[in-house]
Amino acid sequence: MKSFVSVPQNSDFPIQNLPYGVFSTKADSSRHIGVAIGDQILNLAEIANLFDGPQLKAHQDVFKQSTLNAFMALPRPAWLEARARIQQLLSEDCAVLRDNAHLRSRALVAQSDATMHLPAQIGDYTDFYSSIHHATNVGIMFRGKENALMPNWKWLPVGYHGRASSIVVSGTDLKRPVGQTKAPDAEVPSFGPSKLMDFELEMAFFVGGPENELGTRVPIEKAEDRIFGVVLMNDWSARDIQAWEYVPLGPFLAKSFATTVSPWVVSIEALRPYFVENPVQDPVPPAYLHHDDPFTLDINLAVSIRPEGDAVDHIVCKTNFKHLYWTLKQQLAHHTVNGCNLRAGDLLGSGTVSGPEEGAYGSMLELSWRGAKEVPVGSEIRKFLKDGDEVNLSGVCEKNGVRIGFGECRGKVLPADI
């Protein structure tokens, strides 16, 4: 399938992708829902009346909102109908947009003229810890090889409740956090800027569909109906603050200062060709977490760092999302097994994605092995992030000549306010 809209070679956004986002322009500061196609954005508010199928005819107003929440809250058949209609309207064989110059001029916006915003109003944010390689590496560093994984790790998807208010969209700079830290040889903690600033390469999915009633679980057979789409996520971390504060309740200020997400939400339907077999789970998890259908995504991921004054992004990590031990379905089913209600726009993070080799580690904590090794970044070296460093995450799926991507997830570290 091809689009009448020109799609540059190696674009993240061919007609097979069609991710959703929220944008504004200098000419129009109002926020609109759009779909990325090549280097353009299709403004869905301008074509809302064309969604005239049985699922969406009575819900055209969802495309005229300033966030995706109302659209996300519709049931999955509505998402499928919207995707099919957008693909049809953008295809080279459909004249509705292609031959209507006036409508096309209103509906298509150059991405270079747009400012991207958070795709949804995020009510709640949960972050999991689902990469066995990352969990093992961190366990070895802090507890030794014999106790690398905690006893519960292979029985359930470990997670914690994060801070939704400090989630920001790609391109937002962030200040180095300050807080309490304690050196190993110090008698008392000290206060000041974090010295061990880190990125975490993650992906996250937005919850969609009608809310499950409080006290009602989502069975794993129905979990896909609640997974709207996927974004890149950088779970920025202050490792020295984390080391002092995390016992006994887990990370707090070390994480809550900022989390960056990419602006384009790639639908599960767009990702369907890239599902591969799930990892072997030993021991076999409890029945409420068991599913046989492939729901592990083959997504090539990379992290680059651009030091201040440099013009080039330098790749420091390459890995793959398929290294995740727990699937998205398992994460969602576990989250609701106690009756927790999930709402459209909630965000669930994967946890740091690391592969089995050193170059596939998804954090500076692992790449530098807790500061014991130097990580080349162009002509410079790093153990952790310095002020002025700009970090970018990227993700690409490729199969049978079709390439879809997630755009950028970029953020720059600014000096702390002291």
Mean pLDDT along residues 148-153: 96
Q: Is the pLDDT of residue 199 over 90?
A: yes
Residue 200 annotated as part of some ligand binding site: yes
Band the pLDDT of 201: cuts 50, 70, 90. very high
Residue 225 annotated as part of some ligand binding site: no
52: Cβ contacts below 8 Å, ≥ 6 apart: none
Distance CA 23, CA 183 (A): 44
pTM assigned to the model: 0.97
Distance CA 248, CA 255 (A): 16
pLDDT value at position 122?
Answer: 99
Mean pLDDT along residues 173-180: 98
Omega within 30 of 0 (cis) for the link into 219: no
Is the backbone of residue 171 left (phi > 0), alpha (psi -120 to 50) or beta?
left
Band the pLDDT of 117: cuts 50, 70, 90. very high
Distance CA 90, CA 87 (A): 5
Q: Is the pLDDT of residue 92 over 90?
A: yes
Mean pLDDT along residues 84-109: 98
Mean pLDDT along residues 156-170: 98
Band the pLDDT of 115: cuts 50, 70, 90. very high
Q: Is the pLDDT of residue 52 over 90?
A: yes
What tens digit of pLDDT does each residue of 319-357 get? Answer: 999 999 999 999 999 999 999 999 999 999 999 999 999
Q: Which residues pair with 152 in a beta bridge?
A: none
Q: What angle do CA 273, 83, 117 make, to 5 degrees?
A: 100
**Catalytic (active-site) positions:** 134
Quick count: other Cβ atoms within 10 Å of Cβ 84? 12
Domains, in order of start, for the chain: 20-117 (2.30.30.230), 125-414 (3.90.850.10)
Residue 357 annotated as part of some ligand binding site: no
pLDDT value at position 418?
Answer: 85
Mean pLDDT along residues 359-375: 98
Residue 182 annotated as part of some ligand binding site: no
Task: Confirm if 190 and 241 have CB atoms less than 8 A apart.
Answer: no
Mean pLDDT along residues 378-399: 98
What tens digit of pLDDT does each residue of 253-307 get? Answer: 999 999 999 999 999 999 999 999 999 999 999 999 999 999 999 999 999 999 9
Task: Confirm if 130 and 166 have CB atoms less than 8 A apart.
Answer: no
Distance CA 418, CA 407 (A): 34
Residue 213 annotated as part of some ligand binding site: no
Distance CA 112, CA 108 (A): 12
Mean pLDDT along residues 361-381: 98
